[in-house]
Amino acid sequence: MRSEKIPVSTKNNLVQRRDFLSGAATLAGASLVGGAGSSLLESTASAALPPEPAPPSMTPGVERKLARWQDQRWLLDAVIAALGPEWDQGRLGGLANIPGGAADAAGLRARIHKFNDISREFTRAAVRREKEARQFEKDERTVPARESYFLAAHLYAGAQWPIFENTPDNIALNDKKNACYAKYIQFADHEIRRVEVPFGGGKTLPGYLHLPPNRSGRVPCVWSISGLDSNKEGGAGIYGDPLRERGIATLALEGPGQNECAIREIYLTQTNWQEAGRVVLEWLRSQKEIDPDRIALRGVSLGSYLGTQVASIDSRLRGAALQAMAVEPTMHTAFETASPSFKLRFMYYTGIQTEAELDKFLQSWTLHGVAEKVKCPYLLVGGEDDQLSPVEYGLQLMDLISAPKQMLMYEGALHSVSGSAATTNGPSTGTFIAEWFKDRFDAKPMPSKLMKVDAGGQVHDFKFEDSRKSLSVSLLWQAAEQRASMPEKPTQVQEP
């Protein structure tokens, strides 16, 4: 069942103390919409602290869906207290690329000490930024209004992340996010269209089509597919977007299971991203601004898996560039060894109600039989030390693909392709991928190869049949073997 409702007692407006404190009942941290005078979303007019909130609307049954979530709930809060809100992966770094966002990121790091703090504190920051944007708009200061509305939309999206159910709070936050992004569109420095792509049964897939300024004629376009913890609002930058800078449009659209689609109960299945790919690409090729013969895909994290599914059903694509690998069959590493939040959020994406049912679903979660059908040029960008999808699974995936293919691997980098000297000193992933797309749209030839970025930023090329030799440990072994095989040089003695 995909829409089971778990009743919550309303007697005296209370819940069991353990349920209230343990997490699922307080994922929103405090009721954002319920209770007279208690709503953070309605408190934009005053900086005073709101009254004691009513119990939140998140049902306590959510945390009971996942055994590891219950068993490690206390540990999760301890880890967040020690490491901050990026305990599982980076989620604040993107704010630094938005004017004013670095200050909000610093404030969130200072105020978030447990899981229940996340939604509440993101909401407080979003409300403040929305209030600021409204004042800028009232004063006809359109540039800071643009920036503050854009930042507010991202903060509201961050407030939605910890809510793994379609509660009134989650829906209200989604509405606020959409409203702020609509105001950003009004003041943006390039044309943006809110789009709804029909997906059968009267439902649609939501997204934004970003068009480059000063365009002439029909332009190439990249469909940007977000990951498990990202969203369509992050699909294009406010300034200096690498694709727009190269005259390339971006379709930032959410498909089955993702964010607003989950709110619309368009859940993820094993195959419906392939179905979505067909209708979205057909729709995109019909747009008067877009060159139908110059369309490509970009996917990040879970989007690397979903993007590969889409690439397998369309031979006209100019390319597919996937970053931050999430291609391990069954997703065992991410869902059984990393933070339990990954698996619980994925359960929300699927609409599945029990862990046993989800585990059965994941048994057939694989790109075997799919990757072999990819016909377009294919790029996979990843970290050698990816903690959520070990690099070996990326190498196995590349073995399955017969189309022209490249892999860019950073020594020591984690899932987000960060956290190592190689990512600091080596090629910028954003620039590399943008130039890769430009070359595909310009029909330049692409040799198949694996590129390994070492700690010094140097790029070493390998053939795919020698791909395992590119791993750092293998390189060390090779160096040791070379030294062992070299004849020992005689010691030279200087004459007195």
Tens digit of each residue's pLDDT (9 = 90 or more) over 292-315: 999 999 999 999 999 999 999 999
| Domains recognised in the chain with CATH numbers | 18-182 (no CATH), 189-477 (3.40.50.1820)
**Mean confidence (pLDDT) of the chain:** 87
Tokens of 195: 């789009």
Half-sphere exposure of 275 (CA within 13 A, CB side): 13
User: Can you give the pLDDT at residue 477?
Assistant: 45
- 182 Cβ neighbours under 8 A, 6+ residues apart: 194
User: Can you give the pLDDT at residue 467?
Assistant: 80
As a whole number, mean pLDDT of residues 377-386 equals 97
Tokens of 369: 């039989």
Tens digit of each residue's pLDDT (9 = 90 or more) over 343-360: 999 999 999 999 999 999
Confidence of residue 403 (pLDDT cuts 50, 70, 90): very high
Tens digit of each residue's pLDDT (9 = 90 or more) over 240-257: 999 999 999 999 999 999
- Give which of 433, 455, 288, 310 is closest to 370, Cα–Cα: 310
Structural contact between residues 378 and 401, judged by C-beta atoms closer than 8 angstroms: yes
